Amino acid sequence: MQIVVLAGGVGGSRFTAGVRRAYPDATITVVGNTADDITIHGLRVCPDLDTLMYTLGGGGDAERGWGRLDESWRAIEELRAYGAEPTWFGLGDRDLGTHLVRTELLAAGVPLSEVTARLCARWWAHDPGLRLLPMTDDPVETYVDIPDADAPGGRRSVHFQEYWVRLHAGPEALALRQVGIEAARPAPGVLEAVAAADLVLVGPSNPVVSIGPILAVPGVREALRSAPAPVLGFSGILHGAPVLGMAHRLLPTIGVAVDAAAVGRHYGSRRADGVLDTWVVDTADAGSAPALEADGLPTLVRDLVMSSPDATAVFVRSTVDQVLA
Amino acid sequence: MQIVVLAGGVGGSRFTAGVRRAYPDATITVVGNTADDITIHGLRVCPDLDTLMYTLGGGGDAERGWGRLDESWRAIEELRAYGAEPTWFGLGDRDLGTHLVRTELLAAGVPLSEVTARLCARWWAHDPGLRLLPMTDDPVETYVDIPDADAPGGRRSVHFQEYWVRLHAGPEALALRQVGIEAARPAPGVLEAVAAADLVLVGPSNPVVSIGPILAVPGVREALRSAPAPVLGFSGILHGAPVLGMAHRLLPTIGVAVDAAAVGRHYGSRRADGVLDTWVVDTADAGSAPALEADGLPTLVRDLVMSSPDATAVFVRSTVDQVLA
């Protein structure tokens, strides 16, 4: 079986680990978000790709949710001692190894998809059926407009990572821009994987800054809409709150309520102009299913709490079984 | 008193620490060699400047002679795990902080001399009379030709750091090239410091790859020759062997014997076409002094073993006193 998973970082990694648990013999192509990438101190950092790579490779810090297991922070302490801002972005010593290799290869002209494959070769050697593709090889970065009484127009723009990591998504996000997204081309293999898939899964990642950018890469939405395989989407909003992360701070910015049903409608049904065949919501949101069904979006209800890869595997397999039945 | 010191890395640092001990109230401008700089994994590394900076700032590993005190090697272990060669160059986690700051500033167009000043501001804040200038802001790198039976012409060229660190100066050095040296301009302040100095000291650093390149930056040799101050050179060769390092592997390459007298003649007297007013040799080489004197190079004999900053201060002060008397 060929499975494609669209995924962000922390939630996407947990979800993909569950998919692998559910389908140990499948070929799984993970299309990872790169719109929250950042160049920091000259290093190209791809937070979502790294979280996926480390988590599925057994090298991630499961408790923290990102970065390396058994990490240390000596290099960044030095940056702080030099007064070299910013130091709010967590660059661990082991993690730095990844960023150095990636940055050097990118500078040598190796495309991000090839760089990612080389990095994953170390981590995923035990699982050759698992493949990670960046959504695009072209640089995309997300900027967030936040209120600033001192700035012209009363607002200023910060990199998404600054908004997320330094500001903890505190200020209201007045607007979001994915710079570079219009010109981005799907990375080699992305459209082909979707076209060849037996199953396409839209992970319970942030709809605004993770899944949104993947779908916004020109050609990806169309590929999903014309995919021969069923497309299942999983809600990351449970009972009006994100299961992980801070999606509630950004959904209002794009005019979507912090609500499983609203996100399902935002993705939309393939029968209309959306990308989903089936939307999966948590049992806490079961009440929204009839209305979604009535609106033409087939909706399944499951316990979506990803408490373990096994728990995730249960809801993945159960929904897929029902859809393929 | 204004003192200029020409220096390489490990020996130059020990020497400069002794000069500072000898003249605690002097303004000391250290002109550091940058011809063994290297770009490794995208990071610009200036081994001699860093050794000078760390050692004189109290952050260096005195036993190892280079790099940071209390260093760890987690990032480079990651590079090794990724198979990202080379990994023979010692990039410590704390040291990486320095390289990241430097590389980022250089990429932003800040000249190396200004970068160096900013880095030193952290380390030398306790000693505002101490200043470190790179010999040049222009990139210079040293390559060494070594025998290679499989290569065209029976030789191949390796970066000096590869020769020094990976190959431990094992293969015969058939030729040396300082790439970029002809076009290099003295860093801002170098010629001015020499012209304004009350004393110019040529440290007991490697004559071939440390002092040699400094003198080879167009304008520096001429500045020394026309300096109003006395120029004292200190032999790093004691009894036919380098006091530190592996200069004996390279002196033959430039046709100079591994011998204090030969190095003195190589630098030469300002009365002829050299750069020295006085050459200082170790007591072990006292026998060479009369012949050097006879050849027009005033030569002093001292115990030049730099067993401590105090011991170094003793021979520095004693020779300077005699010259200035």
Q: Residue B280's beta-bridge partner residues? A: B234, B300
- Confidence at residue A8, expressed as pLDDT on a 0 to 100 scale: 95
Summarize pLDDT for A244-277 with one digit per residue, the tens: 788 889 999 999 999 999 999 999 999 999 999 9
Q: How many whole angstroms from its chain centre is CA B62?
A: 16
Q: Which residue of B has its CA nearest to A120?
A: B82
* Cis peptide bond N-terminal to B86, omega within 30: yes
Q: Do A119 and B75 touch (CB under 8 A)?
A: no
Q: Kindly state the tokens that stand for B124.
A: 């030398």
Q: Do B104 and A42 touch (CB under 8 A)?
A: yes
- For B94, the closest of A74, A83, A100 (CB atoms) is A74
- Confidence at residue A247, expressed as pLDDT on a 0 to 100 scale: 84
Q: Kindly state the tokens that stand for A100.
A: 């150095």
- Confidence at residue A231, expressed as pLDDT on a 0 to 100 scale: 98
Q: Is B303 left (phi over 0), alpha (psi -120 to 50) or beta?
A: beta
Q: Kindly state the tokens that stand for B107.
A: 């990429």
Give A228's contacts (C-beta < 8 A, 6+ positions apart).
A195, A197
Task: Please give the Cα distance from A191 to A4 (Å, whole number).
Answer: 10
Write out the CATH class of domain B1-137+185-325: alpha beta
State how beta strands A231-234 and A175-179 pair. unpaired
Q: Is the dihedral of CA A172, A174, A180, A185 positive or negative?
A: positive
- Confidence at residue A30, expressed as pLDDT on a 0 to 100 scale: 98
Instruction: Give the percent of chain B with pLDDT over 70.
Output: 100
DSSP B189: T
Distances (CA, A) of B43 to A179, B100, B116, B181: 27, 7, 15, 21
State how beta strands B175-179 and B130-134 pair. unpaired
Reported as type and span, the H/E element at residue A157 is strand A155-159
Amino acid symbol at A46: C
Average pLDDT of chain B is 96
Q: Do A83 and B122 touch (CB under 8 A)?
A: yes
Task: Please give the Cα distance from A205 to A211 (Å, whole number).
Answer: 6
ipTM: 0.92
Q: Are B270 and B231 in contact (CB under 8 A)?
A: yes
* A120 CB-side CA count, 13 A: 25
Confidence band of B243 (pLDDT split at 50, 70, 90): confident
Specify the residue for token string 């140990």.
A24
The answer, for A83 touching chain B at a CB cutoff of 8 Å, is yes
Average pLDDT estimate for A296-321: 97
Q: Are A238 and A258 in contact (CB under 8 A)?
A: no
- Confidence at residue A242, expressed as pLDDT on a 0 to 100 scale: 87
Average pLDDT estimate for B229-243: 94
pLDDT at B247 over 90: no
Q: Which of B45, B82, B123 to mutate to test the interface with A (most CBs of A within 10 A)?
A: B82
pLDDT at A64 over 90: no
State how beta strands B141-147 and B155-159 pair. antiparallel
Q: How distant is the Cα of B79 from the closest Cα of chain A, in angstroms?
A: 5
Average pLDDT of chain A is 96
Q: Do B122 and A43 touch (CB under 8 A)?
A: no
A-B contacts (CB, under 8 Å): 92
Confidence band of B256 (pLDDT split at 50, 70, 90): very high
Task: Please give the Cα distance from A160 to A140 (Å, whole number).
Answer: 11
Summarize pLDDT for A213-225 with one digit per residue, the tens: 999 999 999 999 9
Fold of A1-36+123-325: Rossmann fold (3.40.50)
Q: Kindly state the tokens that stand for A110.
A: 């190796």
The answer, for A94 touching chain B at a CB cutoff of 8 Å, is yes
Summarize pLDDT for B105-161 with one digit per residue, the tens: 999 999 999 999 999 999 999 999 999 999 999 999 999 999 999 999 999 999 999
Task: Please give the Cα distance from A234 to A200 (Å, whole number).
Answer: 11
Amino acid symbol at A133: L
The answer, for A294 touching chain B at a CB cutoff of 8 Å, is no
Reported as type and span, the H/E element at residue A158 is strand A155-159
Summarize pLDDT for B258-312 with one digit per residue, the tens: 999 999 999 999 999 999 999 999 999 999 999 999 999 999 999 999 999 999 9
Q: What residue segments make up the domains of chain A, in order of their start?
A: 1-36+123-325
- Confidence at residue B56, expressed as pLDDT on a 0 to 100 scale: 96
CB proximity under 8 Å: A 96-115 to B? 96-98, 100-101, 103-104, 107
Confidence band of A72 (pLDDT split at 50, 70, 90): very high
Q: Is A142 helix (H, G, I), strand (E, B) or coil?
A: strand
Name the phi and psi angles at B126, rounded to 5: -75, -10
The answer, for B94 touching chain A at a CB cutoff of 8 Å, is yes
Neighbours of A64 (CB within 10 A): 14
pLDDT at B65 over 90: no
Average pLDDT estimate for A128-137: 97
Q: Which of A100, A106, A122, A123 to mutate to test the interface with B (most CBs of B within 10 A)?
A: A100
Q: Residue B278's beta-bridge partner residues? A: B232
DSSP B162: I
Summarize pLDDT for A81-92 with one digit per residue, the tens: 999 999 999 999
- Confidence at residue A178, expressed as pLDDT on a 0 to 100 scale: 97
CA angle A138, A141, A144 (to 5 degrees): 160
More confident residue, A65 or A73: A73
Q: Which residue of A has its CA nearest to B119?
A: A82
Task: Please give the Cα distance from B282 to A163 (Å, whole number).
Answer: 62
Which chain A positions have a beta carbon within 8 Å of B103's beta carbon? 42
Q: Is A299 helix (H, G, I), strand (E, B) or coil?
A: strand
Q: How distant is the Cα of A300 from the closest Cα of chain B, in angstroms?
A: 42
- Confidence at residue B237, expressed as pLDDT on a 0 to 100 scale: 95
- Confidence at residue B63, expressed as pLDDT on a 0 to 100 scale: 86
Helix %, strand %, coil % for chain B, to 5? Answer: 40, 20, 40
Average pLDDT estimate for B247-266: 95
- Confidence at residue A291, expressed as pLDDT on a 0 to 100 scale: 96
The answer, for A118 touching chain B at a CB cutoff of 8 Å, is yes
- Confidence at residue B276, expressed as pLDDT on a 0 to 100 scale: 98
Give A152's contacts (C-beta < 8 A, 6+ positions apart).
none
Instruction: Return the closest-CA partner of residue A141 out of A183, A111, A99.
Output: A183
Average pLDDT estimate for A299-323: 97
Which chain B positions have a beta carbon within 8 Å of A77's beta carbon? 94, 97
Q: Kindly state the tokens that stand for B301.
A: 């004999």
* A282 CB-side CA count, 13 A: 19
Q: Are A143 and A176 in contact (CB under 8 A)?
A: yes
Task: Please give the Cα distance from B317 to B325 (Å, whole number).
Answer: 12
Task: Please give the Cα distance from B55 to B12 (Å, whole number).
Answer: 10
Neighbours of A98 (CB within 10 A): 29
Q: Do A82 and B122 touch (CB under 8 A)?
A: yes
- For B119, the closest of A41, A82, A103 (CB atoms) is A82
Summarize pLDDT for A21-60 with one digit per residue, the tens: 999 999 999 999 999 999 999 999 999 999 999 999 999 9
Average pLDDT estimate for A296-318: 97
